[in-house]
Amino acid sequence: MRRSRKAKIVATLGPASSDKEEIRALFSCGADVFRLNFSHGSHEDHKARYDTIREIERELDRPIGIMADMQGPKLRIGTVRDGAVDLEAGQPFRLDLDPAVGDEKRACLPHHEIFAAISPGTSLLIDDGKLRLEVQESTPDHAITKVVTGGPLRDRKGVNLPGVILPISPLTEKDRADLEFALGLGVDWVALSFVQRPEDLTEARRLIGDRAAIMTKVEKPAALDCLPQLVALSDAMMVARGDLGVEMPPETIPARQKQIIHASRLSGVPVVVATQMLESMITAPTPTRAEASDVATAIYDGADAVMLSAETAAGDYPNEAVSIMDRIIQSTEGDPSYLGIIHARDGEAEATGADAISTAAAQVAATIATAAIVNYTMSGSTALRAARQRPNVPILVLTNELRTARRLAVLWGAHCVHTEDVSNTQEMVEKASRIAVREGFANLGDNLAITAGVPFKTPGTTNMLRIAKVDH
């Protein structure tokens, strides 16, 4: 099941991809990590899908990553008469805490935190920005607004507040229950929605501990103001362009995407680009040319992975969506200018022995055309350093920790194999050679660049680079 590409694919599961054959087909088509979206579905649904993934993993003997994506604090308008009322530009409109059904003059906004944070001049976007209101007056329990952009106001539509930092945790009571359930299942990644500040991640880390890795979704402009701190506190980042694209002008999103990817790569933190990548394939068997270019742009930017949402969760062509994304990535990485583009903004290696070894391994791979870099690791930190270099050959990761292999399924260039650790240098070379041939990375006579730590079986000791020839 070796992939013919280095960037990875995250596929969301849902009604269109629930049974074993459907999930197995998605993996065969190219999905490396499966996302369980806790904004939809019951705990029973997610458990069934989790168990199915693990069954497929055992059958195929390939580590598969599983991500639990928390819903986060969804801010929504209340109900309105007949399910929808029309608002006209220029008219006044009241928002308050009264749960009574709304009409053309007022509606419930059941979030006291919003009233505590807004002031005259604040913009409120409703229904992904289709409606825009501007606050004229505000109190702790209501606001008088002016309709700037009118249209139908429908029940329970989402509310966004560009530029406003809300005094709320990214983990609601629902999220906390979902989180404990997901951690009990054994998910590898927890994706946190609507992170605004470093304190949000400190709280999440306290709850999660080392039971799962944390992926921070950047979908609030406030997160960009403290991006370096968020990257430092996260195990991975996600460019969540849906809500970010509502709260910021659309013309700014491409530059923000590059900013997030660059900051993540400098720190050696995996980064995923998500939302509307192949949106038209929810109902069409092929993507638009613009969508194909969008996926390719994320790959040229150096993203570790790209993600499919409704395309695989609820679309009519889930397998086709994964297959075409796989082909777009392969084609992009096959461009002769690809490596030059992604190395154009490389950062400096950290002044550590492990970084020096990883940098040297990438240089060796380029100089003597090794078939692969073989990386022995327990925690995965050495593999992260190796991928940060974006070497021109695959990274074969050998680890005795299954959860490490699963977490690294999202990492650029990493092909992970769960195997017992080695005890000496000869065993290290022999095992690396045997697995490299078995997994399709090397043939007799090929060179391998092998990194490991001495003493063996000790985490955090990467201090050896060995060039070895596959001789049997």
Please answer whether residues 13 and 44 qualify as being in contact, where contact means their C-beta atoms are separated by less than 8 angstroms: no
In this structure, which topology does domain 81-160 adopt according to CATH?
A: M1 Pyruvate Kinase; Domain 3 (2.40.33)
Residues with Cβ within 8 Å of residue 270, at least 6 apart in sequence: 235, 236, 237, 264, 304, 305, 384, 387, 410, 411, 412
**Hey, how many other C-beta atoms are within 10 angstroms of the C-beta on 225?**
12
In this predicted structure, what is the pLDDT of residue 203?
Answer: 92
The residue count of the chain comes to 472
The set of residues, in sequence order, having a beta carbon less than 8 Å from that of 227 and lying 6+ positions away, is 218, 259, 260, 263
**What's at 320, amino acid-wise?**
E
Q: What is the DSSP string of 374-418?
A: EEE-SSSHHHHHHHHT--SS-EEEEES-HHHHHHGGGSTTEEEEE
pLDDT along the chain (472 residues), means of 10: 94 96 98 96 97 98 97 92 96 97 96 93 93 96 97 93 88 96 98 94 95 96 95 97 87 96 96 97 98 98 97 97 98 97 85 86 92 95 93 96 98 97 94 97 96 83 90 82
- Choices 3.30.1490.190, 3.30.450.20, 3.30.930.10, 3.20.20.60: CATH for 8-73+169-336: 3.20.20.60
Hey, what CATH topology would domain 353-469 get?
Answer: Pyruvate Kinase; Chain: A, domain 1 (3.40.1380)
Burial class (CB in 10 A: 0-12, 13-18, 19+), 236: buried
Question: What's the rounded Cα separation, in Å, for the pair 304 and 298?
Answer: 9
| Domain edges within the chain | 8-73+169-336, 81-160, 353-469
Please, are residues 115 and 70 in contact by the beta-carbon 8 Å criterion? no
**What pLDDT was estimated at residue 322?**
98
C-alpha torsion sign, points 123, 126, 129, 132: negative
Q: Which of 163, 274, 167, 267 is nearest to 225 (CA)?
A: 163
Phi, psi values for residue 362, rounded to 5°: -65, -40
Query: What is the per-residue pLDDT for 460?
Result: 74
Position 16 scores a pLDDT of 93
What's the pLDDT score for residue 472? 75
Give CA separation, 439 vs 89, 367, 432, in Å.
62, 23, 10
State the pLDDT at residue 245.
86
Identify which of 270, 264, 272 has the alpha carbon closest to the alpha carbon of residue 295: 272
Global confidence as pTM: 0.93
CB-count exposure of residue 193 (10 Å: 0-12, 13-18, 19+): buried
Nearest CA to 114 out of 143, 155, 153 is that of 143
